């Protein structure tokens, strides 16, 4: 019976998400219409041959009604065809698939690091609310969201890559080429990205922990002689898991955006550097492809977060 309701919930969520996902594809498609003038002429750039302009027109089917263009484009997307790059002529989907692992590795590393530092920090601050440690750690966390992460990345490169030679300054290697080397490559980008993540997690979770620790049931647990550690790990963490998951979902969205500039700093061949170069070179199919894949990732992550929250807290399911 339980799995039946679970299935129903999944179907429900998908039904709810369908319009959002469809709208998202429409926005990505519609970006083409923000291109000033005749998109084919503008995208072909200066000194374009008539043939090149015709190619772009044919690629987008710009001579047909918008609805047909969209349906056609969507049909291609549904079959995994994200068109071809105007510059290289290579399929966009293949290039994204090739580069995505590099991006995901940095994002995962940054997320892991943010949790590893942010969660203990929030617990330490919440255990002594109003203390000097609480005050200062939260003040520093507040300023953590104001640091330009790419500037932090530059400073890290300057000190730890060019100064001490502890880490490589640029590039990326895949996990399959050796875990150690891959981790050495993502270390600095992940640290640069995580400053913002640590600050966000520390601040949001501190509030959540402080609220839980002040709850009447915690007083009862304390009264019956349970050790603070047991109260924290067995009871509070369970109650904080939902806000924690929500923050993780939010962070995944932010990190996927912030990693773009970080990839430029470290010359990492991910989808971030791909979309920036495409935008500069007016390679619009590539821009659309990357934006589409990113938003699909975010929607999928949000779906997972919702599902996990529901599993962890049956109260959400009943509501």
Partner 1 sequence: MRAISVDIAPRTDTVLRRIGRWLMSDWRAAAAVAYLGLLLLLSLSAPLIAPYSPTAQDINAMLEDPNAAHWLGTDDIGRDTLSRLIYGAPISLFASLLAVSVGLALGVPIGLCAGYLGGWVDAIISRVIETMMSFPGIVLAIGVTGALGIGLIHAMIAVGIVFAPEFARLTRAQTMLVRHELYVDAARSFGASPLRIMLRHILPNAFQPVLVQTTILLAIALLVEASLSFVGLGIQPPYPSWGSMLARAYANMDVAPAQMYPPGLAILLTALAFNALGEALRTAINRGSITEAGQT
Q: Is 141 in the site for partner 1 (CB under 8 A)?
A: no
Considering only CA atoms, give the Rg of the chain.
24
C-alpha triplet 229, 233, 237: angle, nearest 5°:
135
Q: Is 117 in the site for partner 1 (CB under 8 A)?
A: no
Rounded Cα gap, residues 248 and 242, in angstroms? 10
Here the contacts of 29-37 (C-beta below 8 Å, separation 24 or greater) are 29/69, 29/70, 29/73, 29/74, 29/288, 31/284, 31/287, 31/288, 31/291, 32/60, 32/284, 32/288, 33/66, 35/284
Rounded Cα gap, residues 95 and 171, in angstroms? 17
Closer to partner 1 by CB, 158 or 174: give it.
Answer: 158
CA atoms within 13 Å, Cβ hemisphere of 316: 15
Q: Which of 7, 8, 14, 27 binds partner 1 (CB under 8 A)?
A: 27
Q: Which of 9, 10, 35, 57 binds partner 1 (CB under 8 A)?
A: 35
Q: Which of 69, 241, 246, 253 binds partner 1 (CB under 8 A)?
A: 253
Rounded Cα gap, residues 254 and 193, in angstroms? 10
Encoded one letter per residue, x for contact with partner 1 by CB under 8 A and - for no contact, window 257-286 reads xx-xx--xx---------xx-xxx-x-x--
Rounded Cα gap, residues 265 and 170, in angstroms? 8
Q: Is 102 in the site for partner 1 (CB under 8 A)?
A: no
Question: 152-181: which residues touch partner 1 (CB under 8 A)?
Answer: 154-155, 157-158, 162
Span near partner 1 by CB under 8 A; candidates 31-39, 52-60, 89-97, 176-184: 31-39
SS3 84: strand
- Paired tokens of 198: 């640590």
Span near partner 1 by CB under 8 A; candidates 209-217, 232-240, 252-260, 310-318: 252-260
Q: Which of 294, 306, 309, 310 binds partner 1 (CB under 8 A)?
A: 294
Rounded Cα gap, residues 57 and 69, in angstroms? 11
Shortest distance (Å) from residue 285 CB to partner 1: 11
For residue 87, give the DSSP letter. Answer: T
Q: Is 248 in the site for partner 1 (CB under 8 A)?
A: no
Cβ proximity of 270 and 106 under 8 Å: yes
Closer to partner 1 by CB, 127 or 264: give it.
Answer: 264
Closer to partner 1 by CB, 53 or 258: give it.
Answer: 258
Question: Footprint of partner 1 on this chain (CB under 8 A)?
Answer: 19-20, 23-24, 27-28, 31-32, 34-36, 42, 142-143, 145-148, 150-151, 154-155, 157-158, 162, 253-254, 256-258, 260-261, 264-265, 275-276, 278-280, 282, 284, 287-288, 290-291, 294-295, 298-299, 302
């Amino acid at each position: 019976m339980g799995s039946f309701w679970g299935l129903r919930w999944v179907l429900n969520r998908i039904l709810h998400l369908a319009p959002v996902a469809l709208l998202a594809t429409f926005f990505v498609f519609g970006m083409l219409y923000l291109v000033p003038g005749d998109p084919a002429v503008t995208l072909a750039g200066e000194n374009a041959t008539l043939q090149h302009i015709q190619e772009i027109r044919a690629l987008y089917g710009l001579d047909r009604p918008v609805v047909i263009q969209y349906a056609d484009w969507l049909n291609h997307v549904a079959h995994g065809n994200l068109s071809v790059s105007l510059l290289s002529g290579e399929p966009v989907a293949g290039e994204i698939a090739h580069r995505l692992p590099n991006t995901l590795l940095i994002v995962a590393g940054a997320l892991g690091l943010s949790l590893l530092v942010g969660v203990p920090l929030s617990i330490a601050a919440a255990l002594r609310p109003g203390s000097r440690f609480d005050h200062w750690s939260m003040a520093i966390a507040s300023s953590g969201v104001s640091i330009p992460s790419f500037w932090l990345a530059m400073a890290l490169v300057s000190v730890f890559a060019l100064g001490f030679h502890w880490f490589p300054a640029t590039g990326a290697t895949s996990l399959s080429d050796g875990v150690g080397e891959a981790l050495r490559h993502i270390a600095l980008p992940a640290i640069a990205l995580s400053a913002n993540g640590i600050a966000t997690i520390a601040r949001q979770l501190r509030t959540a922990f402080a609220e839980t620790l002040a709850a009447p049931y915690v007083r009862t647990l304390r009264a019956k002689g349970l050790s603070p550690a047991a109260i924290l790990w067995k009871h509070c963490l369970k109650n904080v898991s939902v806000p924690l998951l929500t923050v993780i979902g939010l962070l995944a969205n932010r990190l996927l955006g912030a990693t773009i500039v970080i990839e430029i700093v470290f010359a990492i061949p991910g989808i971030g550097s791909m979309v920036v170069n495409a935008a500069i070179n007016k390679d619009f199919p590539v821009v659309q492809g990357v934006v589409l894949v990113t938003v699909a990732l975010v929607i999928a992550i949000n779906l997972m977060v919702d599902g996990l929250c529901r599993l962890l807290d049956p109260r959400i399911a009943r509501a």
